[in-house]
Structure 1
Amino acid sequence: MDDVDIDRIDDAVLGLLWLTVHDERRAWRGHDWDALDRLHRKGLIADPVNKAKSVVLTDEGLKRAEELFQILFTSPK
């Protein structure tokens, strides 16, 4: 799997986090831990390692998650 584009996977996970946003910036963290860790290192979510079942998106992460959701998962108008 040398040809896997990790950044595209991270974009897809961030876009999917948008589906479960609640309490303004929390999203359910039911995604791959490696992807969540990379998103944390990129400054898009708070540290996913905690007792909560959700992660907190940063301002940048929240904006980018919505953008990616629109790009990746909606039909063109």
Structure 2
Amino acid sequence: MEEKIKELTLLLLYLTSWKEEDIPQDMRRSWKGYDFDILNDFTDKDLIRGSKRWKSVYLTKDGMREAEKLMKKYQMEKDE
């Protein structure tokens, strides 16, 4: 169950993310209102980046790629 929670957390970060002009094109920003242990694990795996002081994080290229794989696994499509 813990692995599914991690997967769904990454999916939520991705699905609620947005593009910003002042960050690299291969990254997206998302609010980080999720379990801090999971977010720390994602940071360690370089799926997300951000400061502990920030209320948001950046999904890295690897994080977005992993989330897109999970979308296929859960048979989801993202509207742009």
TM-score normalised by the chain length of structure 1: 0.72
How many pairs were matched up?
70
Q: What is aligned with 2:34?
A: 31
The answer on whether the counterparts of 1:44 and 1:60 sit within 8 Å (CA) in structure 2 is yes
Percent sequence identity is 36
Gap regions ≥5 residues in structure 1: none
The 1:32/1:48 distance shift into structure 2, 3 A limit, reads farther
The 1:29/1:67 distance shift into structure 2, 3 A limit, reads same
Structure with more helix by fraction: 1
Mapped partners of 1:46, 1:69: distance in 2: 21
The amino acid across from 1:11 in the alignment is E
Mapped partners of 1:6, 1:48: distance in 2: 24
Using CA pairs under 8 Å that are at least 6 residues apart, name the structure with larger relative contact order, 1 or 2. 1
Post-superposition, which runs of at least 4 consecutive aligned residues in structure 1 deviate over 6 A? Answer: none
Structure with more strand by fraction: 2
